[in-house]
Amino acid sequence: MNTDTYAEATIEADPALPIIRIVRDFRATPAQLAKAHLDPDLFMRWVGPDAITSRSLVWDARSGGEWRYVSEHDGQEFGFRGCFHTVADDRIVQTFTFEGMPDDVSLETLRFVDLGDGRTRLEAQSLCDSIESRDAWLRSGMEVGVHEGYAKLDRLLADGEVAA
């Protein structure tokens, strides 16, 4: 593995269950990764593909809190919302809904695994409503948003913009 950058995230669909798993290593502490996911200003700077801009409308990052943001691309807005079920030092459990598909709600678990030496593995799992919903997400081009978003997060971390 290159010492300056990490490989792209691995994105896998469970063949038997409506689950998407994403794994990605970062040159950051678990606290830095948690902050990048929970601080709305930081999150909006890295989430999603390069071609979009996002803004937070509601952000209450605590166990039992809620969130909502809008992403804009070519004059169109796309809304996303959910609830923070659990916010802990080593994990976030939340719901996720794309407002364009309001009946499809996924349960997401993000785990921040300390690898030592200032490195952390992000293990994300999304449990979708059905295999059809999961496959629709995979066909949507979500991997572009994952890869480009995490590359932006790498830059924020490298620039020291995510203090622990």
Q: What is the pTM of this model?
A: 0.93
Domains of the chain: 10-158 (3.30.530.20)
Q: What percent of the chain has pLDDT over 90?
A: 88
Q: Which residue has the higher pLDDT, 163 or 39?
A: 39
Q: How confident is the model over 110-158, as pLDDT tens digits? A: 999 999 999 999 999 999 999 999 998 899 889 999 999 999 999 999 9
Q: What is the C-alpha to C-alpha distance for residues 137 and 159, in angstroms, rounded to an integer?
A: 31
pLDDT of residue 7: 72
pLDDT of residue 3: 42
106: burial class by Cβ within 10 Å (0-12, 13-18, 19+)? Answer: buried
For residues 61-67, average pLDDT: 98
For residues 40-59, average pLDDT: 96
pLDDT of residue 2: 40
pLDDT at 6 over 80: no
Question: What pLDDT band is residue 164 in, cutting at 50, 70 and 90?
Answer: confident
Question: What pLDDT band is residue 5 in, cutting at 50, 70 and 90?
Answer: low
HEC secondary structure over the chain: CCCCCCCCCEEEECCCCCEEEEEEEECCCHHHHHHHHHCHHHHHHHCCCCCCEEEEEEECCCCCCEEEEEEEECCEEEEEEEEEEEECCCEEEEEEEECCCCCCEEEEEEEEEEEECCEEEEEEEEECCCHHHHHHHHHCCHHHHHHHHHHHHHHHHHCCCCCC
